[in-house]
Structure 1
């Protein structure tokens, strides 16, 4: 694979869009787990999650738009400044352009709705946001390799589940590491019963997401490489193996938190001293921070994988 400057720019924009989508999913999940009667730290965390959702939606929309423009410039072999005719032609005449426009429109709706005033500090129009994100993910799945089998075909739906699973896992880890855990560390020890529910819900959801990720990833990966010799004999296969390695590292970190750190953390949140709670929270959050950076690497590698030619088409 030989990448020019525009190719690299397009990949960076795609990765940024994927990261923005993951943050949106993670913010929605975290806001749901913090619902109900809230202590002061939960109110503050919910307000931050709403802000993260709004900013992530804007980033996802802008990076998607810029990435589409760069893609059109690459396809027409023109400069960015001269790409408008190609952009217009892509939007009007191609299936790819139509699908991108649908996804971008849904993202725009999410951005607009995220500014809707609410009586509380949470994310507005919560159920509708899930429908919009599901639509955006489906548009992305119909714009990649799986659409070769047809729009809304089985490979597209499998890829859709895969995209939502990785977005959920990455998003919930990011929100837990950088929004919720710091809020819990600043809370009074008597306010952390909601934190225990959050940690348990996040761990259960991460397990489900990981199972879905491996099942759909196995389907997508085998469909992509198509033959054993292509696993290490093609650029697509090599990138796929690298992605799998990072996923396994992240899964090991998540497993460590679930089976070694979380039991002690949950016990401390239900009635230990403030010092013990702080120590257990810091241990749990440290692993989350490491896991978050590994998962950002997964997002980056997955972006390269989606843009890599399938074996036999290089």
Structure 2
């Protein structure tokens, strides 16, 4: 594998991680943070609500994601056309306008610019309708990403393609939500006091329920897609694609185990422990913060495996 391939996959990983973060962060706001009251809490040491503090973070990551997206397109054009990197700009317009992947790349770039503009507008005002608009654009972006993937070659009304959309959206809401909690809402896992304890419980319980639904959707859709594409379980150990897929599955099992610890042990204990037993509550919350941080790290590794799979063909 050449250094250009390594850079191409690396930039795609960073771009994909940013995309998942944006979709997950906006979904978290709409489904969890705003309804639970978390966004309305005033951040310690800030004269702003947590909701107001999170938007600049999401906006900045959307800008970085746009840059990584453009960098990946340039490298992808260079690798697929076997054109030296310094000469690739001369054929880039043809690549973007005359090839199927190029056209999808151009369209997703336009949608990402729209997301950046929506978030820039949200910096000036705290409006749930703007957040919903940004999330709608992020869903469109995820669909376009799926259209340019392996399942898109099977037709846009095929079962594998439709399941892949479900798969990608569920991953984005779950893992992107974990990223968002780590980057934007860690206050609740580390510093929230007794005055906001009920909001913390509502926040974490809502996320647990939605994460469970996402895990079910990911498991079912991923299994069916594999059965559609696989010629046999031997593919998992006889091809490079299969080995990377097996690693992704193992990482997925591992992240589910940590999620199960949260759902069936730590969160129920947090709900049942008396609010006056602050020492025990802090101990449980610290453990929850550790397991959720581990989940977020494993999520990054899953996205790395996904990025490698995207640049391999099944059977290779």
Judge same fold: TM > 0.5, yes or no.
yes
Q: Structure 2: where are the runs of 5+ without partners? A: none
The aligned counterpart of 2:88 is 83
The aligned counterpart of 1:304 is 308
Count of paired positions:
309
The aligned counterpart of 1:5 is 3
Distance, in Å, in 2 between the alignment partners of 1:229 and 1:85 is 44
Mean alpha-carbon deviation: is it higher for 270-279 or for 14-23? 270-279
1:269-280 equivalences under 5 Å are: 271-280=275-284
1:98 to 86, 103, 107: 103
Distance change (3 Å), C-alpha of 1:267 and 1:297: same
The aligned counterpart of 1:218 is 223
Mean alpha-carbon deviation: is it higher for 126-135 or for 147-156? 147-156
Deviations 1:248-292 (A, max 9, x none): 000000000111100122334x73344333222111101111111
Mean alpha-carbon deviation: is it higher for 224-233 or for 39-48? 39-48
The aligned counterpart of 2:33 is 34
2:118 touches 2:133 (CA, 8 Å); kept in 1? no
2:166 touches 2:221 (CA, 8 Å); kept in 1? yes
Distance change (3 Å), C-alpha of 1:56 and 1:223: farther
The aligned counterpart of 2:173 is 168
**Partner SS for 1:116:** helix
The aligned counterpart of 1:66 is 71
Distance change (3 Å), C-alpha of 1:191 and 1:228: closer
Q: Structure 1: where are the runs of 5+ without partners? A: none
Matched, 1:292 2:296: yes
Distance, in Å, in 2 between the alignment partners of 1:257 and 1:133 is 28
1:99 touches 1:139 (CA, 8 Å); kept in 2? yes
Distance, in Å, in 2 between the alignment partners of 1:77 and 1:128 is 39
1:109-258 equivalences under 5 Å are: 109-117=114-122, 121=126, 125-258=130-263
Distance, in Å, in 1 between the alignment partners of 2:102 and 2:172 is 24
The aligned counterpart of 1:15 is 13
Distance, in Å, in 2 between the alignment partners of 1:176 and 1:21 is 15
Q: TM-score of the superposition, structure 2-length normalised?
A: 0.91
Distance, in Å, in 1 between the alignment partners of 2:233 and 2:118 is 47
C-alpha displacement at 1:68, in angstroms?
0.7
Distance, in Å, in 1 between the alignment partners of 2:87 and 2:129 is 39
1:6 touches 1:74 (CA, 8 Å); kept in 2? yes
Q: TM-score of the superposition, structure 1-length normalised?
A: 0.91
C-alpha displacement at 1:96, in angstroms?
1.4
**Partner SS for 2:121:** coil
Distance change (3 Å), C-alpha of 1:185 and 1:267: farther
1:25 to 13, 23, 26: 23
1:181 touches 1:281 (CA, 8 Å); kept in 2? no
